[in-house]
């Protein structure tokens, strides 16, 4: 069965080497030098180094988990929001929006300017939208799913209306969300655009 291509190990290692050089071996958001790894910023129009950050575990864990989020940790954005790296600018903008309720992030947002292309990328995750009535899509582990994320199937799925069976372990990249039902996402498997139930996927 055809599976969507995943980055090869040499490609991943090459990206990490370039990010280490770009970041001087420190988190590109908070400057920590511990537990660093590559993070691909969702909904990027590009791939590879241009769509990725080198970030610490503490930052990464707080991107989507509101319960784990420490607003004081993100005071680091006072400095990193001025980075010349587009991916850093985009993630700083998104995190400031996610922390707006604390007041000071809005002050920083008022000072921040993104070129039109970067603004479109930043807004693609929906952080600037009024979410009072928004649906929250979550995977089998409860992690929040956003448009552009990648997921992996955790069981075989029979695709309705066809003979296709999407096998467990299949990666589905750059998903889109069903804005009328929090239990459905969409993506391509074996070249076919299908609807997938969120409880059968895990975010990767």
Q: Residues 56, 157: one domain?
A: no
Per-residue pLDDT of the chain (204 residues; tens, 9 = 90+): 334 455 555 566 789 999 999 999 999 999 999 999 999 999 988 888 999 999 999 999 999 888 888 999 999 999 999 999 999 999 999 999 999 888 899 899 999 999 999 999 999 987 766 554 567 899 999 888 988 889 999 999 887 777 788 899 999 998 988 878 899 999 988 888 889 999 999 998
Tell whether 54 is covered by a domain. yes
Count the domains in the chain.
2
Question: What is residue 161's predicted lDDT score, i.e. its pLDDT?
Answer: 73
Q: Residues 114, 191: one domain?
A: no
Question: What is residue 165's predicted lDDT score, i.e. its pLDDT?
Answer: 87
Tell whether 166 is covered by a domain. yes
Question: What is residue 158's predicted lDDT score, i.e. its pLDDT?
Answer: 85
> What tokens does 116 get?
């039109």
Q: Which of 103, 123, 143 is the last residue of a domain?
A: 123
Q: Residues 103, 194: one domain?
A: no
Question: What is residue 162's predicted lDDT score, i.e. its pLDDT?
Answer: 77
Tell whether 199 is covered by a domain. yes
Q: Residues 22, 117: one domain?
A: yes
Q: Residues 90, 159: one domain?
A: no
Q: Residues 155, 90: one domain?
A: no
Q: Residues 168, 93: one domain?
A: no
Question: What is residue 2's predicted lDDT score, i.e. its pLDDT?
Answer: 39
Number of Cβ atoms within 10 Å of the Cβ of 186: 14
CATH number at 188 reads 2.30.30.40
Tell whether 1 is covered by a domain. no
Q: How far is CA 129 from the centre of its chain?
A: 16
Tell whether 129 is covered by a domain. no
Q: How far is CA 57 from the centre of its chain?
A: 14
Structural domain including 66 reads 9-123
Question: What is residue 8's predicted lDDT score, i.e. its pLDDT?
Answer: 55
Does the CA dihedral 175-180-181-182 come out positive or negative? positive
Number of Cβ atoms within 10 Å of the Cβ of 183: 14
Question: What is residue 4's predicted lDDT score, i.e. its pLDDT?
Answer: 40
Q: Residues 21, 117: one domain?
A: yes
The string of pLDDT tens digits covering residues 131-184 is 545 678 999 998 889 888 899 999 998 877 777 888 999 999 989 888 788 999
Element housing 22 (H / E): helix 9-23
Tell whether 143 is covered by a domain. no
**What pairs with residue 203 in β-bridges?**
151
Q: Residues 28, 108: one domain?
A: yes
Rg (CA), the chain: 18
Q: Residues 116, 192: one domain?
A: no
Q: Residues 111, 166: one domain?
A: no
Question: What is residue 148's predicted lDDT score, i.e. its pLDDT?
Answer: 83
Tell whether 188 is covered by a domain. yes
Q: Residues 76, 113: one domain?
A: yes
Tell whether 18 is covered by a domain. yes
């Amino acid at each position: 069965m055809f599976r969507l291509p995943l980055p090869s190990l040499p490609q991943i290692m090459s990206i990490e080497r370039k990010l280490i050089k770009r970041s001087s071996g420190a988190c590109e958001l908070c400057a920590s030098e511990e537990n660093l790894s590559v993070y691909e910023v969702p909904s990027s129009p590009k791939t590879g180094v241009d769509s990725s950050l080198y970030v610490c575990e503490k930052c990464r864990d707080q991107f989507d988990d509101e319960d784990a989020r420490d607003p004081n940790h993100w005071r680091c954005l006072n400095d990193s929001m001025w980075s010349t790296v587009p991916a850093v600018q985009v993630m700083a903008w998104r995190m400031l929006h996610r922390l707006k309720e604390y007041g000071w992030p809005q002050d920083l947002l008022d000072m921040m300017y993104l070129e039109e292309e970067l603004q479109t990328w930043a807004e693609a995750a929906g952080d600037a939208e009024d979410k009072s009535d928004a649906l929250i899509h979550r995977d089998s582990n409860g992690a929040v799913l956003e448009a552009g994320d990648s997921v992996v199937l955790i069981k075989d799925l029979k695709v309705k209306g066809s003979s296709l069976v999407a096998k467990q372990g299949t990666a589905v990249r750059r998903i889109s969300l069903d804005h009328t039902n929090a239990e459905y996402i969409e993506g391509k498997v074996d070249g076919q655009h299908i609807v997938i139930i969120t409880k059968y996927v895990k975010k990767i």
